[in-house]
């Protein structure tokens, strides 16, 4: 069996070594395609592989057509909106993710962005503290729960809303449950987004919702750019000069945001949420183990299609 790691944004070396230890132990061959710049490189590399490990790399019908032997693709991470699930199913390819494995890494970055934001991007002027501020977490999944835990360490008041997670579950984590996303935006100083990109959530973070934020409010996005209604957010930031937007995923209109909202807008140059050695090791090795578990033992836990 041949496994390919195809990562436009590479894992740390220690993670690749860890994946190799798993594939070696199973007697599988491991190939590596990193930092590719053309889709053609991916199409060529998948031609003879049985299993594929990816990150935010796009796996669409064309990639699946080119991967004649492919049986399984594992997204080493949480969000699998980069995989065409219907096409995978049509090609008899199992798709999986590795939920939770990079969650702490993403959650820690939320606070990196927040401290940078509330200290005015380290420009020497007097900023504010996180202690005592009210943090609203939108979606209480693996990342949201880690954000809540860290926020409690900062002494923040933590509130969460999740359309699919009952209030009682949220409250057992010592977090107040909001009744709606509107209530969350209305009552919090800072909102951290942890929703996946789905047909329901795309462009759902819009003018009406973000406009509910209190004076001096901050929106932090370590989820997906697609959940933001960009024209709406631009319009709102033009009107509300008190608001800040901090994001780990560059919007399509990054240049416009940067030009119009200097000092209130920050985007990481490259998505950094899951870019830690620990997250790479956790998600990468989980992906390798899931591949061996599936190919050797038929285990399909974490299948998403």
Pick the closer one to ligand 3PG by CB: 244 or 271.
271
Q: Is 79 in the site for ligand 3PG (CB under 6 A)?
A: yes
Residue closest to ligand 3PG, measured at CB: 77
Number of residues lying near ligand 3PG (CB under 6 A): 10
Q: Is 148 in the site for ligand 3PG (CB under 6 A)?
A: no
Q: Is 42 in the site for ligand 3PG (CB under 6 A)?
A: no
Task: Find the binder of ligand 3PG among 56, 104, 146, 221 (CB under 6 A).
Answer: 56
Pick the closer one to ligand 3PG by CB: 130 or 191.
191
Task: Find the binder of ligand 3PG among 145, 244, 264, 271 (CB under 6 A).
Answer: 271
Q: Least distance in Å: CB of 55 to ligand 3PG?
A: 3
Contact 212, 187 (CB under 8 A): no
Q: Is 274 in the site for ligand 3PG (CB under 6 A)?
A: yes
**Rounded Cα distance, 80 and 59, in Å:** 10
Task: Find the binder of ligand 3PG among 78, 83, 137, 243 (CB under 6 A).
Answer: 78
Contacts with ligand 3PG, 84-123, as mask; x by CB under 6 A: ------------------x---------------------
Beta bridge partners of 136: 159, 191
Task: Find the binder of ligand 3PG among 273, 276, 281, 294 (CB under 6 A).
Answer: 273
* Binding-site ranges for ligand 3PG (CB under 6 A): 9, 55-56, 77-79, 102, 271, 273-274
């Amino acid at each position: 069996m041949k496994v390919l790691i195809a990562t436009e944004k590479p894992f740390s070396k220690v993670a690749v070594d860890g994946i190799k230890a798993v594939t070696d132990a199973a007697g599988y061959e491991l190939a590596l395609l990193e930092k590719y710049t053309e889709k053609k490189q991916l199409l060529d590399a998948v031609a003879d592989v049985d299993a594929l490990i990816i990150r935010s790399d796009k796996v669409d019908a064309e990639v699946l057509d080119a991967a004649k032997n492919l049986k399984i693709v594992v997204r080493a991470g949480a969000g699998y909106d980069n995989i065409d699930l219907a096409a995978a199913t049509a090609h008899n390819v199992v798709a999986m993710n590795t939920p939770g494995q990079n969650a702490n890494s993403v959650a820690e970055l939320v606070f990196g962005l927040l401290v940078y934001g509330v200290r005015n991007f380290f420009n020497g002027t007097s900023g504010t503290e996180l202690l005592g501020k009210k943090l609203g977490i939108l979606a209480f999944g693996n990342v949201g729960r880690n954000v809540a835990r860290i926020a409690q360490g900062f002494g923040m008041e933590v509130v969460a809303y999740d359309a699919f997670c009952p209030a009682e579950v949220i409250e057992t984590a010592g977090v107040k449950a909001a009744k709606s996303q509107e209530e969350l935006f209305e009552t919090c100083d800072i909102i951290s987004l942890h929703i996946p990109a789905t047909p329901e959530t795309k462009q759902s973070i819009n003018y009406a919702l973000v406009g509910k934020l209190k004076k001096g409010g901050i929106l932090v996005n370590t989820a997906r750019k697609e959940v933001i209604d960009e024209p709406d957010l631009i319009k709102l930031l033009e009107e509300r000069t008190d608001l800040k937007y901090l994001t780990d995923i560059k919007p399509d209109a990054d240049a416009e945001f940067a030009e119009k909202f200097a000092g209130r807008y920050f985007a990481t140059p490259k998505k950094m949420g899951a870019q830690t050695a620990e997250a790479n090791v956790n998600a990468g090795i989980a992906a390798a183990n899931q591949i061996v578990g599936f190919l050797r033992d038929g285990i399909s836990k974490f299948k998403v299609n």
